[in-house]
Amino acid sequence: DAGVTQSPTHLIKTRGQQVTLRCSPKSGHDTVSWYQQALGQGPQFIFQYYEEEERQRGNFPDRFSGHQFPNYSSELNVNALLLGDSALYLCASMRGIPLGRAMADTQYFGPGTRLTVL
């Protein structure tokens, strides 16, 4: 059973450029979340996609955008890159559950994409 996969593994860009990161969810999962992890910090929530719609967004600027495809895979796009965007970008997948359900399902993470902005 394939887990969450992400590509590319590493990426080097310069300030002002644009980048696209890709994620394929674990088999049977239909919900994808993206997180940014700076060095020495815990992951920070960027947004979550379910049924090809962004259903929640964290405290990130509009330069960060995403998309989910009918096969549940997802892309994260970052425009006008800043030095501060250098981080490990993590994708997590889970089964979609209603907000009213008492117990949360587990989010499984991919290996991440290391983005370096010069």
Partner 1 sequence: EDQVTQSPEALRLQEGESSSLNCSYTVSGLRGLFWYRQDPGKGPEFLFTLYSAGEEKEKERLKATLTKKESFLHITAPKPEDSATYLCAVHMSSNYKLTFGKGTLLTVNP
Contacts with partner 1 by CB under 8 A lie at: 4, 6, 33, 35, 40-45, 48, 50, 55-56, 58, 88, 90, 92, 99, 101-104, 106-112, 114
For partner 1, the closer CB: 23 or 117:
23
Q: How far is CA 46 from CA 27, 61, 84, in A?
A: 22, 9, 15
Phi, psi (rounded to 5 degrees) for 85: -80, -5
Instruction: With CA atoms as reference, report the closest residue to 116 among 83, 72, 80.
Output: 83
Rounded to a whole number of angstroms, the minimum distance from the CB of residue 31 to partner 1 is: 8
For partner 1, the closer CB: 36 or 81:
36
Amino acid at 56: Q
Rounded to a whole number of angstroms, the minimum distance from the CB of residue 92 to partner 1 is: 8
Rounded to a whole number of angstroms, the minimum distance from the CB of residue 60 to partner 1 is: 12
Residues 6+ apart with CB under 8 A from 89: 6, 21, 34, 35, 36, 37, 76, 112, 113, 114, 115
Q: Which residue has the tokens 């887990």?
A: 3
For partner 1, the closer CB: 15 or 51:
51
Rounded to a whole number of angstroms, the minimum distance from the CB of residue 16 to partner 1 is: 26
For partner 1, the closer CB: 16 or 113:
113
